[in-house]
Every structure is written in C-alpha cells, then in structure tokens.
Structure 1
Amino acid sequence: MRSTGIDRRQLLLGTGAGLAALAARGPTAFAGDMLALDAQDPLFAAARREADGTHSVVVTGLDGMTRARVPLPDRGHDVAVCPGTGRCLVFARRPGTFAVLFDPLGRSAPVTVTAVPGRHFYGHGAFSPDGRLVFATENDFETSRGVIGVYDLSGETPVRVGEYWSGGIGPHDILPLPDGKTLVVANGGIETHPDRDREKLNIATMRPNIALIDRPSGSILATIEAPAHLHRLSLRHMATGTAGKVWIGGQYEGPRDDAPPLIASLDIASGRLAMHDVPDDLAGRLANYVGSVTLSRDGEVVAASCPRAGKVLYFKAADGSFLAAQNRVDACGLAPLDQGAFLISDGQGGLSDSADPAGAPALLAATPGVAWDNHLVALGPA
C-alpha cells in the first residue's frame, strides 16, 4: 500500500477551498460560540462532551480549535450533512428525542427537531438530495418496530410529515445510495425500550439485516440478513462509495470469547453480504465492537474504529482484504482526508492523522477535558 503521508499546507489549500464561497458570506446568527472562519480551513463536525460535563456539537479544524459550537441538551451521536446546502443535523444518542439543525457557518440560528410521542431517535439520519427532507432512524418502542421518520425542514419550523417501516428492529445508521433514490438502513436487530434505558431485550432472538428502501415511496426493496450463525452480530454503522458496495461495521452480542468477523460488505447489484476477517492474532483483541466506518476520499480504503479495543482497522475496498491496524486509545470518529488518510477523533479530546496506516496515528491536537463522541464528519462545499 502506498504511503499516505500528507503535506498539511497542501491539504489546507485543497480541502478547505470548497468552503471558501460559504465562509465569505460570513455568519449572521448563531446560538453558541462562533470564531472567525478561514477560507483555507478544512472543517469537521462532531458531538462531544465538554470539560464541564455539558454536551455540544462542534465545528473544528485540524488544529482542534473550535470554529463553532452549538449547545445540546444531552449527549449527541452522529451529524448528517446536507450535500446541497451544507446544513447539518445532529441527532441525540439513543434513546434521545431531540435533533438540532444548524448551519456550520452560522448563517442561521439552530432549530430543534423533536421526536413525536412513542418514538425516539437512534442517532442517525440522512437528507434528501435537495435538502428539503430528512429521514431519521427511530424506534416505535411500544411495538418494537423500527421506523424511518420523515421530516420536512424547508420551513421555519420542522414538520414530521410521515414515517415508514425500516425493514427490521433497531434501525441505526441510514445512508443515501448514489442513485439518489434509495436509502440503505442498518437494522441492528436489538429490541429496546426507553423505560429500560439502554438494556437489550431480545439478544437470543436477534435478526439484524440491511434494508434497501425506495426513498420516494418508502417501499422495502430488499432485506439482507446476516448469516444465521452471526444472528447476534448487530449491524450498526455504514459507509457507501461509488463502486456499488456498502460497508458495514458490527457489534457482537454473543460470548466474549467468540471472535466473529466484524466488518461486512453488501454488493448492491447481487444482494450478497460478504464478511471480512482480520488476522487471527488480532481477531480476539477487538472487544467485538466497531464504532464507526468510513471510506477514503479516493474510495480505495475502508477504515473502521474499535474504540473499546483502542484500534483503527484498514481494509482494501476492492476486495475487503485486511491492510493494517493502528493503536489509538478510545478512537472512534473517522473522517477522510486527502491522499487516502483519515482524521481520527477519540474520547480523550484528541484529533489524529492516520498518516501511514502501517505506523502510528500522528496526534494533531488535544483538548484537555473534552471527549469526542462516536462520529466525525467532514464538511464539504454547498
């Protein structure tokens, strides 16, 4: 594998250029903290716990400095980014009932989206191509039914305009496919109820799957289940590329001394779900938990974080073969950088550059007292 060392000056000139037009407009209104935005500054968004114990969603640069901060009422999880407008929606961690819509450049005030009674969010969502609608994974907890809540964000006040079945129980991640018409949903298969906090109620009978949904109609196009012997592998986080594959990270709910494969790929055309192994000496040291999955900008490398084991794994996207592993304590958030590298966030306030996956991540910045949450997203041009 080629070296992925990065000239940071070129990264700043290249990756950040797409935001130049947005930054030039300047902030108009923002609830929270806003610092001056550099047009040459690549930006990233993530939820985090602050040093005083409060929670926020933060826009940051490679230097770890806060460019913008929006307070949250409780712990956040993932941030969905609208490809057309650049607006972001951060979701509460399960079983939270809030999401906050914000502009990372502060051109409008944040707006809170609230789940309807009988539903809670699972921490993820996806925008429609035009940015008018957002599709959120939710729990219909009285019937243990996964649903996709549909919200219209085009007006001053968000409106929930409907919902449809997710194709399973415990929908977690949701992403649009490149065709612009299909949503892919990772139904983790775990039954929960907010009255039981985060307790898992159906481990013995789990049936996780990946569902393909027609976005305009809500019709289930296909569901692909994990192999029967892996029915306790909760399919949770995903990444999509342009090569017709969806990459999935799992969290295993079986015996601790089992060492199942934790990474899968779904070939959209054939509907085939393939499992991808790591070397034997690594398989038993991953705590059976993948926290985040993403693809490099060139689509050649898949990165998967194992925060409980303090590792980041790398796979070849062409065939799923294992490439390398790096050690970083409590590393979970992943976002692509240029030249095949990744930005890694961790629960100790650190941001690291994967640099050469055969070596150790290079610490770029650390903010004492804060903890980055599970996911990190790169902010692109609008």
Structure 2
Amino acid sequence: MALFGGLLVAPANVLAAPDSEPLFLAARTEAGRHAIAVFDSRGSELFSIPVDARGHSFAIDARNRMAVAFDRAPGTHAVLFDVDNRKDPLPLVAAPGRHFFGHGIFSSDGKLLLASENDYDEGRGVLGVYDVAAGCRRIGEFASGGVGPHDVVLMPDGRTLCVANGGILTHPDYDGIKLNLDEMTPSLTYVDLHSGELVEEVRLAPELHRLSIRHLVVDAYGVVWFGCQYEGEAADRPPLVGRHRRGEEPVLFAGPAETLRALDNYVGSVAVDLSGEIVATSSPLGGLITYWDAATGRNLGQTSLADGCGIAPLQDGGILATSGRGTIAAVDIARSRLRSVAEQPAVGWDNHLRRIG
C-alpha cells in the first residue's frame, strides 16, 4: 500500500510471527524507494508498507497493536496501521498550514493521537489532536509551548505530555533553512493531555540557547532524558545528553571528553533498556552508541556503529540498533559489544527504531 500521498497497492512480504515475539518498526530507503518495515529481533521482515517519502518515527498504541508512521519534517503525510497486518493501513494528512515533525504519541487508552506539528505561518509549535475511533480525524490542537516541537512522550501519570521544543524556526517555503539560530529558545514543556494547559516549562542556560533539544525517553524513575543537536560553532563541545526531574532544573551530562568529541555535536535517538535503568543515545554522525546510568548520569561505555541511529530495547537487557548502511545489530550493553543480525547494504535505515510487544 503506497501511502504518504500516493496510490494504494497491496502490502508486501507478509509473514507470521509468534504472539510473544517483540516487533520492531523502522523506516527505510532502498534504491530510491521508501517504506515502513515491521520485523523481528533477528531482522526477519514480517511486512512492509511502501510510502512516497522518507519516514521518520512512530506513535505506538501497544494495547491495541496499532501504530502511526510519520514522514520526515516538513512532511504532511502519515499512516495508521495494524502492526500485525490484520487491517488495511489508513493514510493521514496534516491540516492546512501545518506539517508533521515526525513524532507522536497515543493516549494511554488509545483514544487520542497527539502529533508534533509546525504552525509555520505563525512560527509556533503545536500538538495536533486526533480522534482515533473516528479514523484519526483531527479534532483540535494544543500549543506546544515553544518553537519546533520534535519529540513528545507521555509521562507515567498518563495525562501529562513532555515536549522537546527544539527551538529552531523553519518554514516549508524556505527549503529547510534554519531561520532563527541567533534567537533559538529550546525548551522542555509539560502539557496537560486533556486541557492543553502548559503546566511546566524549563529551558537550558542562556549560553546553551543553540543546543536544540530533540529526542526524549522516560526512565524507570519517571524522569525524562533528552538528546540534543548543537547548532553553534563546530569546534564547540557542549554536553548533548541530559535529564529533567519535574520541579527541578535540567542536568546535562558530557561523559568522557573523547566520547563527547566523537559524538560530533549530534544525538539522533534516545532509548532505555527494558529495565529503564540504562539510557542509550546514538550519534549517526559520530558512528557511536553511548550508555548512561539512569540513576547517576554516569557514562557506562560506548559501541561503534557506522551511521547508526535507530535504537530500541531487546529482551536480554541489550538493544537492537539500525544504521543508514543497512545493518541491524544486537548490542550487548554490559560488554559494549555488537553482533550483526542482518546486513542489507542497499538499505538505508532512517533515524528511529521502535519496539512494540
């Protein structure tokens, strides 16, 4: 089924998977063709959905086994699909004057979809609100409390959203040009899922105003971890990984100097292991996956993976990782070792890997 604005064709490569098998979702490009792929921890594909544009990340409703794949910003298309391939995918289109930033979240009951979006003519971030039962009809929006909202996560209370406002102003008419680097104001905001009320906002120190907060994950303690991308001088080396506990100031972690230097001012994805005790961050520019102790912020080590960005937890305490060079690899965090489970040199896996199950 070609989506993101294209004609409909049948899904390809349909296989069966055991009910207990965790599944992984990722966007890929191969020979100029784009698709959303569903595969297992061995890299075996269950099915794929051809799409017209590069995909980015996913909103997942684990209870109802549904997901939404968003195309890459400034994309205007997405697709709702059943991760077990029991129903036809449903294409979604952004509202006029809005585009997706590639991320979203379902409410805990699966009734609402929230998507990070750009109100590009007004230069403000919003969270589009969609009624899932009504075919993901857009029923409203909330202000994200900042500019350039990228990732969004649901907090453990089930009613508060945390939004990574990257602070970068863009407009689709200007071909991806970053329009406000001197005035960037990245922030973390907490928004009430039901009312849209902004309940908390935190910003980094003024001298770090070019440190764009991009990706989020919640650890075992209910604390938000974030990964950043630096838009300042290439020779600068600000810390790129941080955490925020509600009611406190954000804390940044640099890790060893050689690790920080190797990250090349770019964190592309953030994940936690199944225990929630270890945070993983990836840098495709640095070809590096790094690990952090969620309780202390201590750097636990690193693993090299060329152009590696997608990361998601495995059953054994490790993580599964994907790269833009076609690798799917299992990573043993404790030993900082990587084992390839699939190599497809013609495939470019996009930035994010998500697990369901």
Q: Same fold (TM over 0.5)?
A: yes
Q: 1:369 aligned to 2:349?
A: no
Alignment-mate amino acid for residue 338 of structure 1: Q
Give the structure-1-normalised TM-score: 0.89
For 1:284, what is the secondary structure of its paired residue? helix
Does residue 204 of structure 1 match 2:182? Answer: yes
Which residue matches 1:343?
320
The one-letter amino acid of 1:96's match is G
> Is 1:41 the equivalent of 2:18?
no
Mean CA deviation greater in 32-41 or 362-371: 32-41
Task: State the alpha-carbon separation in 1 of the partners of residues 225 and 16 from structure 2.
Answer: 33
Name the structure 2 match of 1:61: 40
Match of 2:165 among 187, 210, 217: 187
Q: Which sits farther off after the overlay, 183-192 or 52-61? A: 52-61
Aligned partner of residue 299 in structure 1, secondary structure? coil
Corresponding residue of 2:106: 127
2:332 match: secondary structure: coil
Q: Distance in 2 between matches of 1:357 and 1:290?
A: 21
Counterpart position of 2:92: 113
Aligned-partner Cα distance in 1 for 2:336–2:250: 31
Residue identity in the other structure for 2:29: R
Aligned equivalent of 2:141: 163
- Other-structure match for 2:263: 286
- Residue matched to 1:252: 230
Counterpart residue number, 2:203: 225
1:361 match: secondary structure = strand
Deviation at 1:127, TM superposition (A): 0.3
* CA offset digits 1:57-86 (Å, max 9, x no partner): 100122322201011120110011103201
Q: Is the 8 A contact 2:129 2:139 kept in 1?
A: yes
Deviations 1:111-158 (A, max 9, x none): 011001100000000001121210000000011100110011203x33
Are residues 1:238 and 2:213 paired? no
Q: What does the per-residue CA deviation read over 1:243-262, in whole Å, with 9 as the maximum and x for residues that have no partner?
A: 02100000000100001000
Q: For 1:178-209, what per-residue CA distance to the aligned partner results, in whole angstroms no more than 9, with x for missing partners?
A: 10010000000000000112111100110100
Question: Which of 60, 72, 89 is the matching residue for 1:93?
Answer: 72
Deviations along 1:44-63, whole A, 9 cap, x unmatched? 1111112x211111001223
Amino acid corresponding to residue 93 of structure 2 in structure 1: T
Taking the aligned partners of 1:218 and 1:123, their CA distance within structure 2 comes to 20
Which of 274, 287, 297 is the matching residue for 2:251? 274
* Cα deviations by residue, 1:216-258 (Å, 9 ceiling, x for unpaired): 0000001100111111000000101340210000000010000
Matched, 1:304 2:281: yes
C-alpha distance in 1 between matches for 2:297 and 2:105: 25
Q: Of 311, 322, 325, which residue of structure 2 is paired with 1:334?
A: 311
Aligned-residue sequence identity (percent) comes to: 42
Post-superposition shift, 1:34?
4.0
- Residue 356 of structure 1 deviates from its aligned partner by 4.0
Q: Distance in 2 between matches of 1:361 and 1:96?
A: 33
User: Does structure 1 conserve the Cα–Cα contact (< 8 Å) formed by 2:282 and 2:290?
Assistant: yes
Counterparts of 1:219 and 1:255, CA distance in 2: 36
Distance in 2 (CA, whole Å) between partners of 1:64 and 1:230 is 39
CA displacement at 1:319 relative to structure 2: 1.1
Q: Encode CA deviations 1:21-60: one digit per residue, 9 max, x unaligned.
A: xxxxxxxxx941142212153311111112x211111001
Cα pair 1:251 1:289 within 8 Å, conserved: yes
Whole-angstrom distance in 2 between the partners of 1:158 and 1:235: 28
1:4-43 to 2 correspondences below 5 Å: 31-39=10-18, 41-43=21-23
Shift of 1:368: 3.0
Task: Tell me the equivalent position of 2:302.
Answer: 325
CA distance in 2, matches of 1:249, 1:359: 20
Name the CA distance, whole Å, in 1 between partners of 2:109 and 2:51.
Answer: 26
Q: Offset at 1:280?
A: 1.4
TM-superposed deviation, 1:357: 4.6
Q: How many residues align?
A: 348
- Measured in 1, the distance between the counterparts of 2:241 and 2:310 equals 16
1:114 maps to a residue whose letter is V
Report the secondary structure of 1:79's partner residue: strand
How large is the RMSD of aligned CA atoms in angstroms? 1.3
Which protein, 1 or 2, shows the higher relative CO under an 8 Å CA cutoff with sep ≥ 6?
1
1:102 and 1:108 in contact (8 A); partners too? yes
Alignment correspondent of 1:176: 154
* CA gap 1:339/1:65 in 2 versus in 1, 3 angstroms: closer
2:353 aligned partner, one-letter code: L
2:240 maps to what in 1?
Answer: 262
